Amino acid sequence: MPRRRSSSSTGSPTGGSTAPRNRTPQPVRVRRRTAGDFVKAFLAFLALLVLLVGVPSALATQIGWPLPHGVPSLDWLQQEITVQTFLSILTVVVWLAWAQFTACVLVEMKVALSGVGVPGRVPGAGPSQLLARQLVAALLLVGATAASFTPGLSQLGHGLEGDQKGTVAAAQQTPGGLFGQQREQAANTAAAVAEQAASVAAKAEAKQGDTKYYRIQPPEGRHHDSLWEIAQRHLGDGRRYKEIYQLNKDRVQPDGSRLSEASLIRPGWIMEMPADAHGGELVEMPDDAPGVSEQVRQQIHDYAKTGDHAQGGGDHAQGGGHQQGGGSHASVPAQRPAPDAGQDRQQHADDSAATAATPASSGRSFGLPEALLGAPLLAAGLLGALGHRRRQALWQSALGAVGGRPGMEPPTPTGDALDVQDALLVGADPEGVRRLDRSLRALAGALAAESRPLPVVYAAWLTGGDLHLQLAQPAGKPPAPWQTGQDETFWMLARADAEQYEDADTAAPYPGLVSLGTMDDSRLLLNLEAVPGIVSLSGRASDRAAVFASVAAELATNGWSDRVTVTLVGFGQDLTPLAPNRLRHLDGIEALLETMEAETRQRRGALGAAGHDSVLTGRTGPAQHTRWAPHLVLLAAQPSAEDARRLAELAADASRLGIGYLVGTESGELPGAAWEMEITSEGRLLAPLLGLELDAQMLPSAEQQAVVELFVEADPESGPEGPAPTPPFLVDISEQGRPAVYARLVGPYEIIGLDTPDDERSALLHEALALLLLHREGVHPRVLSSALWPRGVTDDVRDALVERLRSWLGTDPDGTPRLGTDDTGRLTLAKSVVSDLDVLRSLYHEATQGKGADNRAVRGRLLTDALVVVRGPLLADRPEGRYRWLTHEIVDAQLPLIVADIGLALSSFHLEKDRAEQAIEALDAALRTAPADERLWNELLRATHATGDTTRLEALAADLVGRGGARGLPPRTEALLDELLPAWRTAVAAAG
């Protein structure tokens, strides 16, 4: 259906459009009729009767016709003005006012009953038309929920201009297509009222107990039909869509297909309805269906014969736990992007296979938290932030910033923390995050190149890898390779096109996007900073807390934001370790209000001084350096009425300032809430008036605590003082400790003690063994499968590989398999299977904390043996496209630091005895694995200086300057050269 819009919402011919100035629209609420509604309707009827009939009757009977009955002469103008003259003039004014009001009533009544179009404005009507609108709405309230789309009676004191602006703003601010047009919903409701009134007689004659049917309507001139809307119209409650689904599940439709998911319905399908369904001609009977063609009547007859096949089982399977993949379905609700019809069957098959391969029970799947397994973007953000935190701790440890603990071993998680870490590894989709980030930045860059502003984006849908942006209003043709979606308010980027993008030095255009949940195969990200007002969330306190924690954690760690400030109030004080630079906690609402009032004033002034309409214009073009980072407020505490009013005032203009509010409420009633959502005890996120019913993304309390534990343990500022922790696995480094299977990972990958498997199995078996060798604590089977097959694999394929790996590794002399399973179900290796990395760690530990700590000769021998083990970087010859899981591993950063520490220790050992050449040899060996370690180069300068060969030192300085390139030498290295070779700059220039 063509989108109805005001002139202000029409995109310019060039594609540029001015971002709408967001206001706080009144929330639309569908509610059941009460006794008060009938009283209001009765009073409205009396008021209309008095105004439309009583006023003219009184004027006609009491005053009469005020104008002269004939043509007045010039003498009439010279007559004396009497009281009767004033009364006649006043009577004329009253008659004109009555006529104008009558016209307003007719206009409002016509639009309300037809459900088509927006009420036209009666010239000069002003408050009269507003009054007419209120009375008509109140009168229709007894027939349906028509009052839900009109202003409340309490707004009678408002001016018409303000009312009209608010209505237009609300229409612009509510995401059309994605969340459903509220005015179109209102029109549908009013149409249903008319249809219901017209069919009263027919319904009275219908036999009680007759089976009722509904035929799915085509999308022309209306929204795409959905089971929720059908249940809302004909059963009075959208949540009863499951009853319709169960009645029709798997029954053969006229086109030969079947209903397999509640969201997959197509025009022309027949739906059997519950016995209490109502709604006039929209609910059709097989034998008595006036106005229905013979063909449709026959289809209903045929469909009725399949009723025995309908199953009345439990709730339909939800698809929210799936990761992105496949394609979109053939027919989707209007809330989601347009579908790809060709991928329907394949996607359904993929979903079925994934469901079968991933059973869930009590929030855990194979012992892992289901909440994180089904949140790929959140998991990727947490995993990336955790890896960064651990690397930071290693680097600080190596530089002696924390307790002088060289070669620090990161703590090995246990219990719930280990389960959560495994869930992050399995559930994370770093490629999806990278595509999303690159796509959004590339879009911003392309628009800036065309001197076009960023459009206001309410939300994004990720469907099968494709990205759909829902715009607040049409913004012209998107830059290639972006395409227009199902209408002008959708911009779509195919996955294949997104994969062509590279990293770009462009400000993140929509850093306020955050995942809310999934609908079948589509994942919704809401742009919190673009919401025209407050987003409210109701439900049980524990469920709300899980949603708030998920939102906070993703905003704190996501990969598509540059800078963002997230203020937590009423919860989340323990979440701040996730990202201390992004998250901050305030004690109460009063502190929040003071902070936000000051920031709102500051941002308003800064935007005005910069000449920007909104923060979006500050993220592209010449002003891009300002970034205009968003500030997102998550308020879990229920605000008081006065605090809610102050929040609503702040939020009225917040979206253009880059400020967003998500507020929890116990009652579901929050003044000033633009969009209202509810989280159910079953984990469903509902917003019926926005057209949403999602499998909510949540971070329950137990998982939240475990995630925080991982980050706290990795904090470089909170580690224990003293020597480095013992490695998790030490081997016997004596001659008697020779292993049965020895894998060389530090350098080219080699395995000693095993026959080479078949070529087609060799790569997977080697990779699986490497993963197990790097995790002596054990590897969860799902972590193994997600590492080897990032796009997913069935359990039987994974189990077959595990059995082949077990057979390849064989058994120890006592008959114990070298690949076993511990009490938690994780795969573990026997102590007879060893890697050179295990030997390296054991030698270094023994040299620094074992026998070598007090024996210089033993320490030198152990350090020398350790350096001999090092042959290059970790898995130096790994094939292209494999071992991608190493990006999540801390060992990639840990190994160079350990090798550097060994090289530095051995160099110091030799320099103590003035053996400079041996020290240089040890440092050169360490630099082959850790070429970027500044400490090694500085120590090499000292060792070279100790040889007394100035020419050699100058050559080394020139080599270092060449390696530094345009960046130059690090300050410490420059200072050291100034000390060892004061004329190094001249010597380097002469050599160059």
Q: How many Å apart are CA 984 and CA 953, to the nearest integer?
A: 9
pLDDT tens per residue, range 900-948: 989 999 999 999 988 999 999 999 999 988 888 888 999 999 999 999 8
| pLDDT surpasses 70 at 364 | no
Q: What is the crossing angle of helices 83-114 and 127-140, to 10°?
A: 50
pLDDT of amino acid 265: 80
How far apart CA 533 and CA 544 sit, in angstroms, is 19
Q: What is the DSSP letter of 256?
A: S
Token pair listed for 682: 């079953």
Residue 106 burial (CB count, 10 A): 14
Q: Is the pLDDT of residue 724 over 70?
A: no
Banded model confidence at residue 342, pLDDT cuts 50, 70, 90: very low
Measured N-to-C along each axis, helices 541-557 and 701-713 cross at an angle, to the nearest 10 degrees, of 30
Cα(728)–Cα(718) distance, integer angstroms: 20
Strand 631-635 vs strand 692-696: parallel, antiparallel, or unpaired? unpaired
Taking residues 143-159, what's their average pLDDT? Answer: 33
Instruction: Give yes or no for a contact between 448 and 620, defined as CB atoms under 8 angstroms apart.
Output: yes
Q: What is the 3-state secondary structure (H, E, C) of 309-350?
A: HCCCCCCCCCCCCCCCCCCCCCCCCCCCCCCCHHHHHHHHHH
Average pLDDT over residues 366-388: 88
- Does 165 or 537 have the greater pLDDT score? 537
717 pLDDT band, cuts 50/70/90, is: low
User: What distance in Å separates the CA atoms of residue 962 and residue 651, rounded to the nearest whole number?
Assistant: 55
In this structure, what DSSP letter does residue 875 have?
T
pLDDT band at 153 (very low <50, low <70, confident <90, very high): very low
- What sections of 488-540 are H helices per DSSP? 495-498
* 503 touches 434 (CB < 8 A): no
Sign of the torsion angle spanned by Cα atoms 632, 638, 643, 648: positive
- Confidence band for 300, pLDDT divided at 50, 70 and 90: confident
Q: What is the predicted pLDDT for the residue at 896?
A: 87
Q: What are phi and psi of 417, to 5 degrees?
A: -65, -40
Tell me which residue has tokens 């059709």. 284
Residue 26 has pLDDT above 50, yes or no: no
Q: Specify the higher pLDDT residue, 45 or 668.
A: 45
Helix (H) / strand (E) element for 459: namely strand 457-463
For the chain, report the end-to-end CA distance as a whole number of angstroms.
71
Alpha-carbon distances, residue 249 vs 243, 270, 332 (angstroms): 10, 11, 17
Which has the closest alpha carbon to 285: 216, 199, 206, 195? Answer: 206
On the question of pLDDT at 203 being above 50, the answer is no
pLDDT in tens, 32-46: 556 666 777 788 888
Tokens encoding 352: 């079925």
At residue 635 the predicted structure's pLDDT band, cuts being 50, 70 and 90, is very high
Query: Dihedral of CA 643/647/648/649: which sign?
Result: positive
Cβ neighbours of 347 (radius 10 Å):
26
**pLDDT of the residue at 281:** 55
Rounded to an integer, what distance in angstroms lies between the CA atom of residue 939 and that of residue 948? 15
Report residue 625's pLDDT band, with 50, 70 and 90 as the boundaries. very low
282 contacts 192 by C-beta, under 8 angstroms: yes
In this predicted structure, what is the pLDDT of residue 831? 92
Which pair of structure tokens corresponds to residue 317?
């399977």
Residue located via tokens 């994180």: 372
Residues 6+ apart with CB under 8 A from 482: 443, 446, 491, 492, 493, 497
**Measured distance CA(945)–CA(811) in Å, rounded:** 54
* 288-305: average pLDDT: 74
- Computed over every residue of the chain, the mean pLDDT equals 76
Max mean pLDDT range (178-187, 363-372, 394-403, 833-842): 833-842
Side chain identity, residue 920 = I
Structure confidence at residue 30 as a pLDDT band (50, 70, 90): very low
Backbone CA torsion sign across 417, 422, 427, 429: positive
Residue 600 CA neighbour count, 13 Å, CB half: 22
pLDDT given at position 983: 83
Query: What does the block give as tokens for 288?
Result: 């008595």
Q: Which long-range contacts (CB under 8 A, 24 or more apart) does 338-343 make?
A: 338/485, 338/486, 338/490, 338/492, 340/464, 343/464
CA 777 – CA 686 distance, rounded (Å): 42
Least-confidence region, from 160-164, 380-384, 765-769, 909-913: 160-164
Cβ neighbour number for residue 215 with a 10 Å cutoff = 21
Give the span between the Cα atoms of 769 and 715, in whole angstroms.
30
pLDDT score for 80: 66
Tell me the angle at which helices 856-869 and 836-849 cross, rounded to the nearest 10 degrees: 160
Q: Which of 140-154, 261-275, 577-591 is predicted with the least confidence, judged by mean pLDDT? A: 140-154
Q: List residues bridging with 471 in a β-sheet.
A: 457
Lowest model confidence (mean pLDDT) among 408-417, 543-552, 692-701 = 408-417
Distance from chain centroid for Cα 848: 47
Q: Do β-strands 483-484 and 490-493 pair in parallel, antiparallel, or remain unpaired?
A: antiparallel
The full DSSP string for 33-90 is --HHHHHHHHHHHHHHHIIIIIHHHHIIIII---S-SS---HHHHTSPP-HHHHHHHH
Residue 990 vs residue 393, higher pLDDT:
393
pLDDT above 90 (res 111): no
d(CA 490, CA 467): 10
Structure tokens at 209: 């107990």
pLDDT of residue 396: 75
Task: Evaluate the CA torsion angle 482, 484, 486, 488 in order and state its sign.
Answer: positive
779's CB contacts (< 8 A; 6+ apart) are 771, 772, 826, 827, 828
- Residue 311: the pLDDT is 40
* Least confident window among 215-224, 636-645, 786-795, 934-943: 215-224
Distance, CA of 471 to chain centre = 16
Structure tokens at 817: 């398999």
Average pLDDT for 300-307:
80
Whole-angstrom distance, CA of residue 252 vs CA of residue 525: 35
pLDDT tens digits, residue range 452-490?
888 999 999 999 889 999 998 898 999 999 999 888 889
Global pTM reads: 0.64
Distance CA 959, CA 951 (A): 12
Please state the length of the chain: 992
Which among 38, 231, 35, 279 is positioned nearest to 141, based on CA atoms?
38
16 Cα distance to chain centroid: 27
E-state strands within 246-320 = 270-273
Separation of alpha carbons 109 and 48, rounded Å: 12
Q: Which of 163-167, 188-192, 415-419, 933-937 has the lowest mean pLDDT?
A: 163-167
The mean pLDDT of 537-561, rounded to a whole number, is 93
Contact indicator for 405, 397 with CB cutoff of 8 Å = yes
Return the pLDDT at 180.
44
Kindly state the average pLDDT of the residues 421-447.
92
Q: Which helix (H) or strand (E) holds 247?
A: helix 241-248
| Cβ neighbours of 662 (radius 10 Å) | 23
Q: Percent of the chain scored above 90 by pLDDT?
A: 28
* Prior bond of 481 cis (ω within 30°): yes
Strand 522-527 with 513-519, pairing: antiparallel
Range with the poorest average pLDDT among 321-335, 542-556, 606-620: 321-335
Q: Assign residue 297 a region: left if phi > 0, alpha if psi is -120 to 50, beta otherwise? A: alpha
**Has residue 171 got a pLDDT over 70?**
no
Q: Which pLDDT score is estimated for 806?
A: 93
Q: Which residue has the higher pLDDT, 552 or 68?
A: 552
Out of 82-96, 205-219, 221-235, least confident range: 205-219
Among residues 430, 353, 521, 321, which one has the least CA distance to residue 786?
430
Q: Is the pLDDT of residue 324 over 50?
A: no
How distant, in Å, are the alpha carbons of 494, 834, 849, 901, 902 from that of 407?
A: 45, 20, 12, 7, 9
The one-character DSSP state at 540 is: -
Asked if 673 contacts 663 with a C-beta cutoff of 8 angstroms, the reply is: yes
On the CB side of 453, CA atoms within 13 Å amount to 20
DSSP string, 473-485: S---SPPTT-EE-
Structure confidence at residue 984 (pLDDT): 83
Sign of CA dihedral 189, 193, 199, 203: positive
Q: Is the pLDDT score of 350 beyond 70?
A: no
Q: What per-residue confidence (pLDDT) applies to 127?
A: 75
Structure tokens at 96: 């004109």
Q: Which of 40-49, 596-605, 718-727 has the lowest mean pLDDT?
A: 718-727
Which residues are paired to 677 by β-bridges? 537
